[in-house]
Amino acid sequence: MLEGCVPWPPELAEHYRKAGYWHGETFDELLRRRARDRSDHPAVVDAANRITYADLDAAAGRLAAGLSGLDLSPGDRVVVQLPNVATFLTVFFALQRIGAVAVLALPLHRRNEIVHLCRQSGAVAYVIPDEHARFDYRELAAQVRDDVPGLRHVVVDGAPGPFIDLTDLYAAPGRDHGGAAPSDVAVMLVSGGTTGLPKLIPRTHDDYLYNIRASAELCGLGPDDVYLAALPVSHNFALACPGVLGALHAGATALLTNAVAPDEVFDVIARERVTVTALVPPTARMWAEATEWSGSDLSSLRLLQVGGARLLPEHARLVRDAFGPVLQQVFGMAEGLLNFTEPDAPEDVVLHTQGRPLSPGDEIRIVDEDDADVSPGELGHLLTRGPYTLRGYYRAPEHNAVSFTEDGFYRTGDLVRMTPTGHLVVEGRVKEQINRGGDKIAAVELEEHLLTHPAVADAAVVAVPDDLLGERTCAFVIAASGSPPIGRSEVAVFLRDCGVAPYKIPDRVEVVDAFPVTRVGKTDKRALAAMVASPVAKARS
């Protein structure tokens, strides 16, 4: 494995192979196989393209040749920040052909996150669109390049400006690119983060392909399915659970869109006869409500996955009533472990649980503060280990020491209980993270930025309940002595100037004289959250 990664212990790796979880295949081999047996079937469709398996394979080959011409070698990291376009998959598979590692940034990441991802991964190249959602990624890339000297190339899908035009890289194939071994890292995903900045999650061909295969199998994906990615494909859910990669594994069609509004997406679903898609809870509710007025024919949809944040039972009921018995709850994480309600699960399970671990190889522990197992059915901290769960973040030994037990269980930071049927119910979390409708925000990251503002003496960022998004972000600040209190718009401008992703900008800013403290003298974030959640505070705001 790449230096800076934590491999599975050899005996466990051997067990995962023997048990048939790890097949010893690479992403490149998968695509070549599909290009042979599904050559003329549509593999990838977006607003402007309809690409067959044979064409995807050929395009990946040509692009791999062009990228090798830039001196990209096996093991090199490339930050990919593309929206939901067919090119995402061409770039992904071109990198796989070389044996390079795709580091997947979200489209909403900005200078602060991208500089960090480039530095942390040691990236040699960065792939962007020219513009997307009224944002010019070339301007972002110019800033990133100034900050990261090791970044040799910026490649642009679209008008390249001062950078390399992606289309110029489609050279003729012919060179041996090296490629990867199944135990090599294929992808690095970005963690939601609980500390300063997001951590990188290395996923090997063996483990990520198992993640994809097992998810596709559980969801019954077959060659006639059409999977719609309406969530960002650079996120694990829409990429690999089973996601667009699961669709390609199954020889089905992966459809990519950047639209989420029902009036646009419903037409796409009806036209393309979409069978499976994945949503976060707020979007699922919006879609459910829209079925009341929409005339689109959504009858092709046989599986509607909802995950990324807690879906309340009443909202699950709303979605199920609107779409029929197609709802599936998914509780997953970029770090690995996935839980699904089975497509044939009883209604009660679908409405009230977040699903059961995907693999018989998933080891689950639910423990108390002292890492002792709680009694069956009791609430506790979820720890997990298994054939597709990471053993350590990339180049993060100090963080790994606290995020994993000595025997390699990942501390998810989620509080769960297990039902007698083995399904998990997510009741809360201990990690200092805000889950804003599926978007994850590390409180500490924002606090560190806020503390650099001259008018801020101290900062504490908490989640406050929200009817639509589940949670929103509230920043409490104590003004520096002599400074006037800082308002929300000033905070927003400041954080934007810091290069922070827009979804991380606090929804609310409260200036207080002092923070309440716990008995051990730490800032009492629960008390802070209660201050804004109370009726008095609501009436004032």
What is the per-residue binding string for ligand OOB in 318-357, x denoting contact by CB under 6 A?
-----------xxxxxx---x---------------x---
> Out of 83, 193, 202, 307, which residue is the one contacting ligand OOB (CB under 6 A)?
307
416 binds ligand OOB (CB under 6 A): no
440 binds ligand OOB (CB under 6 A): yes
**Minimum CB–partner distance for residue 201 and ligand OOB (Å):** 8
- Closer CB to ligand OOB, 253 or 412, in the complex: 412
What is the per-residue binding string for ligand OOB in 171-210, x denoting contact by CB under 6 A?
---------------------x------------------
308 binds ligand OOB (CB under 6 A): yes
Cβ atoms of 62 and 170 within 8 Å: the answer is yes
Structure tokens at 112: 């602060």
**Minimum CB–partner distance for residue 421 and ligand OOB (Å):** 17
The terminus-to-terminus CA distance of the chain in angstroms comes to 52
**Minimum CB–partner distance for residue 439 and ligand OOB (Å):** 8
Sequence-distant (≥ 6) Cβ neighbours of residue 185 within 8 angstroms: 1, 2, 5, 75, 101, 202, 203, 204
Candidate ranges 101-109, 220-228, 305-313, 386-394; the one touching ligand OOB (CB under 6 A): 305-313
Structure tokens at 234: 């650079």
**Minimum CB–partner distance for residue 53 and ligand OOB (Å):** 25
Indicate left, alpha or beta for 315 from its phi (over 0: left) and psi (-120 to 50: alpha).
Answer: alpha
410 binds ligand OOB (CB under 6 A): no
89 binds ligand OOB (CB under 6 A): no
Paired with 366 in beta bridges are 382
Q: What residue is closest to ligand OOB based on CB? A: 332
Pick from 445, 436, 437, 434: which is nearest to 113 by CA?
A: 445
Structure tokens at 60: 């990946």
Determine if the peptide bond prior to 83 is cis (ω within 30°). no
Strands 336-340, 356-357: pairing is: antiparallel
Provide the H-helix boundaries in 99-204. Answer: 111-121, 137-147
- Tell me the backbone φ, ψ of residue 76, rounded to 5 degrees: -65, 145
250 binds ligand OOB (CB under 6 A): no
**Minimum CB–partner distance for residue 497 and ligand OOB (Å):** 26
**Minimum CB–partner distance for residue 337 and ligand OOB (Å):** 8
Cβ atoms of 442 and 435 within 8 Å: the answer is no
> Out of 225, 414, 471, 510, which residue is the one contacting ligand OOB (CB under 6 A)?
414
429 binds ligand OOB (CB under 6 A): yes
Alpha-carbon distances, residue 145 vs 125, 244, 319, 394 (angstroms): 10, 30, 45, 22
Paired with 89 in beta bridges are none
**Minimum CB–partner distance for residue 239 and ligand OOB (Å):** 9
390 binds ligand OOB (CB under 6 A): no
Candidate ranges 127-135, 308-316, 452-460, 528-536; the one touching ligand OOB (CB under 6 A): 308-316
Distance of CA 91 to the CA centre of its chain: 18
**Minimum CB–partner distance for residue 463 and ligand OOB (Å):** 11
- Closer CB to ligand OOB, 213 or 429, in the complex: 429
412 binds ligand OOB (CB under 6 A): yes
Please compute, for residue 374, the number of CA atoms within 13 A of its CA located in the half-sphere on the CB side: 18
Strands 131-132, 135-136: pairing is: antiparallel
441 binds ligand OOB (CB under 6 A): no
- Closer CB to ligand OOB, 275 or 412, in the complex: 412
- Please work out the total of residues on this chain that contact ligand OOB, with binding judged by CB under 6 A: 22
Amino acid code (one letter) for 275: T
| Sheet arrangement for strand 200-204 | 164-165, 153-157, 125-129, 77-80, 101-104, 185-190, 200-204
Please compute, for residue 403, the number of CA atoms within 13 A of its CA located in the half-sphere on the CB side: 21
404 binds ligand OOB (CB under 6 A): no
- Closer CB to ligand OOB, 101 or 239, in the complex: 239
> Out of 236, 277, 403, 473, which residue is the one contacting ligand OOB (CB under 6 A)?
236
Structure tokens at 222: 């077959």
> Out of 426, 434, 456, 477, which residue is the one contacting ligand OOB (CB under 6 A)?
426
- Closer CB to ligand OOB, 123 or 334, in the complex: 334
- Closer CB to ligand OOB, 332 or 386, in the complex: 332
- Closer CB to ligand OOB, 68 or 354, in the complex: 354
CA distance 408 to 195: 20
Sequence-distant (≥ 6) Cβ neighbours of residue 63 within 8 angstroms: 90, 91, 94, 166, 169, 170
**Minimum CB–partner distance for residue 312 and ligand OOB (Å):** 10
**Minimum CB–partner distance for residue 36 and ligand OOB (Å):** 30
CA distance 488 to 509: 5
- Closer CB to ligand OOB, 309 or 495, in the complex: 309
CA distance 409 to 122: 27
Cβ atoms of 529 and 464 within 8 Å: the answer is yes
Q: DSSP letters of 286-326?
A: HHHHHTTT-----TT--EEEEESS---HHHHHHHHHHH-TT
**Minimum CB–partner distance for residue 238 and ligand OOB (Å):** 9
> Out of 205, 310, 385, 504, which residue is the one contacting ligand OOB (CB under 6 A)?
310
**Minimum CB–partner distance for residue 68 and ligand OOB (Å):** 32
> Out of 80, 105, 218, 309, which residue is the one contacting ligand OOB (CB under 6 A)?
309
Cβ atoms of 295 and 269 within 8 Å: the answer is no
Which residues bind to ligand OOB, rule: CB under 6 A? Answer: 192, 236-237, 241, 307-310, 329-334, 338, 354, 412, 414, 426, 429, 435, 440
